[in-house]
Structure 1
Amino acid sequence: MDPVIDPSMRAATATNLSPEILSGGTGPDMRFTLRLVASYFAADRWIGGGLVIVYILLAGGGSFFMLKAQEKLADITNALAARQGGPVLGLAVIVLCLGLVFLVTALITELCQYVVRIRARRYFTENALSKWLTGNRFHRIEQAVSLDYPEQRIQEDIYIFIEKVLALGPGMIASMVPMALYSMKLWSLSLPIPLTAIGLPFNLHGAFFFAAIGFTLFWTYMTHVLGRDLTASEVVRQNLEAEFRHDMATVRENSEAIAFERGSEHHANRLNGVFGLIRGNWHRYTVAQLKIRFCLNFPSMAFLVLPSLMCAPFILDGKMQVGDIQLVGASFNAVYLSVGVVIQMYAQLAILRSAAARLRYLEERLNAPAHAGIDHSMTTGHDIRAERLTVFYPDGTTMVNVGDLAIRRGDRLLIKGKSGAGKSTLLRAIAGIWPFGRGEVILPAESKVCFLPQRAYMPDGTLAGLMSYPNEPEPALDEKLCGLLDLLGLARLAPQLHEYAVWRNILSPGEQQRVAAARVIVNQPDYLFLDEATSALDSHSEANLYSLLDEHLPDAAIISIAHRQTVQQFHTKTINVVDGTLVVI
């Protein structure tokens, strides 16, 4: 077994089962779908709901016009069979007019669908983004490793879900109109059949109609039996495709490091391995699609001869005309398509269910309660306090026993210790992004707190945007930003202040750390935590950076994690993390 492939991906491909399928079923997915649809129409009742009603009415109206066109075509056939050419031209004009009306209604229904699709996508996307980004849930679910690629679920699965719901839902409702119209027509075309041959003293009415209904129900059941594997295959396919995209993006984003370490062969093996899983899943996916394709195509072949066979005895007896074959065939097919709408839409319903299952799983993970551990609260005071704080490893064993700790504005605190002692995790616990532990962290509600890690976040954008993050850059700050670049030895970048670029690929690690330092100076925090934030700088640049922080943040508390002794001079208090305890020096 190739060790670079995620074992869970291998298992899902081999068994055609994924966490989404294992965590639910058809019932939960259907209820989730109905709940999402109901929530949208509750929020967009008048415009969204009104457009869907127009869509359904026009779709039903289109079926009515199509039925009338079929009747006129049957009249044309009968006229030609009787060698009567007079009515043909007038009937043809009527058919063309009905076709034109049908075309207009089809275009309007399509327009309604596209408008509702973007409105619904906006509603679901905004809700999903809000839930994902609120309360650092995006970080929590990454820590728990309980959900893969939420970004794909928010972007692609919402798109697929809306597309399929709006394509299938109104269509299924609108199918009731042609079902009623063509059922009545098929019933009226069904001549009474005596049942005396089988010992029953009455006639069977509506034989064509009952034949259509019986065949449709039987074939619906067969379609489900043959095609039920498609949903599971589609969910696994989506997960594998997401993994494949992610692995390629990893190569792109880390191209320099991979090139330096000659890692292309490793990543080629990994990508080929993941694509091999995609191919394995594709076999199941293809077989499921072929089964459904058979279920779709077989009735079409049967309907080529079935109407003629059904009508033949009545035509030979002179009770029906030749043109009636076309009308019976069209009506039989329309009843089959209406009653058997699940057959026609089975593949799309399977894809809809797969999108619903992935979105349901996303919602379950986002709604999962946070790990009950360290409590965080806000106070009207000005100090950061930890009370009875103990930081755990994820498995529950003790990492650092902090006890009580107070950090006041103006403090200069250096935290030292061996690598892996828990220094960085202590800062994460204070920041509220490390849930494993017990005790309480109390943060001042009116104070601004900034955390500067070793590798600061560098979003795509302008240099001014990087220095102002998470706030938007203001033109009034340009002079200050250029001055900070000069003080940090980056004056050459000043002309590029408003140039949009992927700066994390342009700036060296040391330059990124200096830009991050400029960012905290611009944001003026009351408490600044630095976690190896100068590790890529030489001693002179490091000293210059700390001097600037002292100068521009005189009243702020600066708490640093560092290994170099040169940083000591900028701090008045030192804490050593030794064997899981804090030792104040």
Structure 2
Amino acid sequence: MRRIGHFLSDAWTLAGPYWRSEERWKARLLLGVVVALNLSLVGMSVLLSYWNREFFNSLQEKNAEAFWALLFWWRQTDSGPMPGFVFVAALYILIAVYALYLRQALQIRWRSWLTREVLDRWLADRAYYRVALTDAETDNPDQRIAEDLRYFVDNTLALGLGLMRSVVTLFSFVLVLWGLSGPATILGITIPGYMVWVALLYALAGTGLAHLVGRSLIRLNFQQQRVEADFRYALVRLRDNAEGVALYGGEADEKRGLQDRFGALIRNWWAIMVATKRLTFFTSAYSQVAVVFPFVVAAPAYFAGRIPLGGLTQTSGAFSEVQGALSWFVDNYSSLTEWRATVLRIRGFLGAIEVARAAAGTGIQSVPDGGDALVLDDVTVGLPDGRVLVAGASARVEPGEAVLIAGASGSGKSTLFRAIAGLWPFGRGRVHAPGAGVLFLPQRPYLPLGSLRRAVCYPRHAEEFPEVEIREALESAGLGHLAARLDEEDSWDRRLSGGEQQRLALARALLVKPRWLFLDEATSSLDPEAEARFYELLKERLPATTLVSIAHRPAVAQYHQRALRVRDGHLVAAPA
């Protein structure tokens, strides 16, 4: 019971903020309308149970006038005026259609709000970066945002409204069934409304057995969501690295890896199939018995002449409604296990984000205080396993300087670069960085999805730059042949070579004109002549820009005034 309470608390932690958000009034109004329509459907079901009784009584009495009136017009009955079936059915259909339509409208509004909230948390304080570095358990954030949030919203509404409707149906038809069933004497004890008690016992037994048979589905559904996402991620990674795989001839190894992941998916799916088969055996038997069970229970009264055929059918229908309402847990057990797995995955994801954001102020402190200089104050850069790469680094870079950071491969230059950017959390010390006008160019430039224009202007909005400036930047960077394709959407990270991607990064720098420009092996894919032209352009077009470069080639040193070398775990000043 404590576990159920904890789980429901987690579910409300996810759901509650939306109903208290800036959209709360629209959401509550829409939910109120949906609830009212669902309650109306229950009322229509009660009306149809009485219509059903009168209709079958007219058949038993061979009353043609009553038969046709109950179908196409209306008739005065012992229960009051009874509308014809065509009117009841038309109203029922209208209510059912709008109950579904408005529920779907609420679903998409809630999902939109929840997705924005989770994205805000994930991207704030660079939590996405720290989670990827430190939390191996939080797998596939893309799947948790795109699919788990959708499953959560859809299932929460479907199960919540279904439970509400079952409760209302229960109370509505219990009164009907209580009045129809009358008392029964068993072992000398008179039991009033005996069919209500029979329905209750039947549903309680079914609920307990359903949980006993199907509880393993909770764990299996959680695992299935994970292995499905792992397999999809492996396929996406192969697509994104198709050229590297082709150059290495790594198809056989990739196939083995994909087959291993797909094998895990299939094995878990077979386990789900076995568990579902057991549960379906039980629920199918339970449902089939429920079809005839009320007739069996009510048959003695019918054969004794205490109730007519219409009364028998109404009693059976009311029993089925009561039993169905009480059996909500049995009927929705599989959906409940999927919902619980989804809640656990989302809560785990949000928990990892909270931990990452809480740790944003620990480790190496990046202080964008807007000063005129870049200052490293006793900065120690380490790895997640605690190993130290650079210890006690202190340095100062003045505005307008050109400084080279050099050192052997693996000495920690690129990690220091990440610490300066405020990304690397492992270590201690303080980095005082300029507050604005900063641009970092990594070795492999990031090219976003969309048009070439967006890729060139990233991270700024393309509308900020006139067409002529964008074309001129491309021309200067040696990509003039692409100027005619600015509005063409493509996978530019695969369409362009490594050298072309680094030229595109140069075009970005020429467009943005940053006050501070940091380059981490940003010319490694260019030939020496193109690399020289790259730095000459920066010096020519951005003369006031402070330049901090990480590079291996000795020729790069001539474009810098001095160097900082990583040597034996320390950062030391040296001539360029």
State the TM-score bracket (shorter-chain normalisation): over 0.9
Distance 1:313 1:380 in 2: 89
Shift of 1:458: 1.3
Say whether 1:513 aligns with 2:524: no
Decide whether the 8 Å contact of 1:66 with 1:99 is kept in 2. Answer: no
Say whether 1:559 aligns with 2:534: no
Say whether 1:425 aligns with 2:412: no
- Of stretches 523-532 and 367-376 in structure 1, the one that deviates more from structure 2 is 367-376
SS of residue paired to 1:419 = coil
Per-residue CA deviation, residues 126-177 of structure 1 (Å, 9 max, x unaligned), is: 0011111111111111111431111111110111111111111122112222
Which residue of the partner structure matches residue 238 of structure 2? 251
CA 334–345 in structure 1, closer or farther in 2 if over 3 Å, else same? same
Which residue of the partner structure matches residue 232 of structure 1? 219
CA 88–498 in structure 1, closer or farther in 2 if over 3 Å, else same? closer
Decide whether the 8 Å contact of 2:379 with 2:393 is kept in 1. Answer: yes
CA 386–96 in structure 1, closer or farther in 2 if over 3 Å, else same? same
CA 68–474 in structure 1, closer or farther in 2 if over 3 Å, else same? closer
Decide whether the 8 Å contact of 2:134 with 2:384 is kept in 1. Answer: no
Shift of 1:480: 2.3
SS of residue paired to 1:241 = helix
Decide whether the 8 Å contact of 2:302 with 2:312 is kept in 1. Answer: no
1:354 alignment partner, one of 341, 360, 373: 341
2:259 alignment partner, one of 238, 255, 272: 272
Which residue of the partner structure matches residue 533 of structure 2? 544
Per-residue CA deviation, residues 326-356 of structure 1 (Å, 9 max, x unaligned), is: 1111111100111221222211111111111
SS of residue paired to 2:439 = strand
Report 1:432-447 matches (<5 A). Answer: 432-445=422-435, 447=436
SS of residue paired to 1:493 = helix
SS of residue paired to 1:87 = helix
Q: CA RMSD in A?
A: 1.7
Report 1:187-206 matches (<5 A). Answer: 187-195=178-186, 198-200=187-189, 203-206=190-193
Decide whether the 8 Å contact of 1:456 with 1:516 is kept in 2. Answer: yes
CA 234–468 in structure 1, closer or farther in 2 if over 3 Å, else same? same
Which residue of the partner structure matches residue 381 of structure 2? 391
Say whether 1:143 aligns with 2:143: no
Distance 1:475 1:553 in 2: 19
Report 1:286-435 matches (<5 A). Answer: 286-368=273-355, 369-370=358-359, 372-435=362-425
SS of residue paired to 1:211 = helix
CA 524–124 in structure 1, closer or farther in 2 if over 3 Å, else same? same
Decide whether the 8 Å contact of 1:73 with 1:95 is kept in 2. Answer: no
Shift of 1:563: 1.2
One-letter code of the match for 1:161? F
One-letter code of the match for 1:574? A
Decide whether the 8 Å contact of 2:371 with 2:432 is kept in 1. Answer: no
Which residue of the partner structure matches residue 571 of structure 1? 560
Per-residue CA deviation, residues 456-485 of structure 1 (Å, 9 max, x unaligned), is: 111123332222110111375322222232
Per-residue CA deviation, residues 378-401 of structure 1 (Å, 9 max, x unaligned), is: 324211111111111222222112
Q: Which runs of 5+ in 2 are unaligned?
A: 73-83
Shift of 1:376: 1.8
CA 25–279 in structure 1, closer or farther in 2 if over 3 Å, else same? farther
Decide whether the 8 Å contact of 2:298 with 2:312 is kept in 1. Answer: yes
Distance 2:172 2:5 in 1: 32
Report 1:80-99 matches (<5 A). Answer: 80-93=59-72, 94-99=84-89
Distance 2:152 2:213 in 1: 23
Which residue of the partner structure matches residue 210 of structure 1? 197
Distance 1:108 1:490 in 2: 55
User: How many equivalent residue pairs?
Assistant: 557
Shift of 1:26: 4.2
CA 291–27 in structure 1, closer or farther in 2 if over 3 Å, else same? farther
1:104 alignment partner, one of 94, 117, 140: 94
Say whether 1:223 aligns with 2:201: no
Decide whether the 8 Å contact of 1:191 with 1:205 is kept in 2. Answer: yes
Distance 1:232 1:221 in 2: 18
One-letter code of the match for 2:70? L
Which residue of the partner structure matches residue 484 of structure 2? 495
CA 490–204 in structure 1, closer or farther in 2 if over 3 Å, else same? closer
- Of stretches 477-486 and 31-40 in structure 1, the one that deviates more from structure 2 is 477-486
Which residue of the partner structure matches residue 47 of structure 1? 26
One-letter code of the match for 2:298? C
One-letter code of the match for 2:346? L
Say whether 1:534 aligns with 2:512: no
Which residue of the partner structure matches residue 478 of structure 1? 467
Report 1:430-469 matches (<5 A). Answer: 430-445=420-435, 447-469=436-458
Distance 1:164 1:529 in 2: 48
Distance 1:334 1:304 in 2: 11
Distance 2:396 2:237 in 1: 41
Distance 2:437 2:497 in 1: 28
Decide whether the 8 Å contact of 1:29 with 1:360 is kept in 2. Answer: no
Decide whether the 8 Å contact of 1:73 with 1:91 is kept in 2. Answer: no
Distance 1:448 1:70 in 2: 73
Deviant stretches of 4+, over 6 Å:
none
Shift of 1:76: 2.3
Distance 1:303 1:411 in 2: 83
One-letter code of the match for 1:332? F
Say whether 1:36 aligns with 2:14: yes
Decide whether the 8 Å contact of 1:60 with 1:175 is kept in 2. Answer: no
Which residue of the partner structure matches residue 114 of structure 1? 104
CA 137–419 in structure 1, closer or farther in 2 if over 3 Å, else same? same
Distance 2:350 2:4 in 1: 17
CA 490–83 in structure 1, closer or farther in 2 if over 3 Å, else same? closer
CA 464–76 in structure 1, closer or farther in 2 if over 3 Å, else same? closer
Distance 2:503 2:300 in 1: 92
TM-score, normalization: structure 1? 0.92
Report 1:66-81 matches (<5 A). Answer: 66-81=45-60
Shift of 1:290: 2.2
SS of residue paired to 2:372 = coil
Per-residue CA deviation, residues 93-118 of structure 1 (Å, 9 max, x unaligned), is: 31232122111110111111011011
Decide whether the 8 Å contact of 1:389 with 1:440 is kept in 2. Answer: yes
Q: Which runs of 5+ in 1 are unaligned?
A: 1-23
| Identity fraction in percent | 32
Decide whether the 8 Å contact of 1:414 with 1:561 is kept in 2. Answer: yes
SS of residue paired to 1:370 = helix
CA 452–167 in structure 1, closer or farther in 2 if over 3 Å, else same? same
CA 74–283 in structure 1, closer or farther in 2 if over 3 Å, else same? same
Shift of 1:25: 5.4
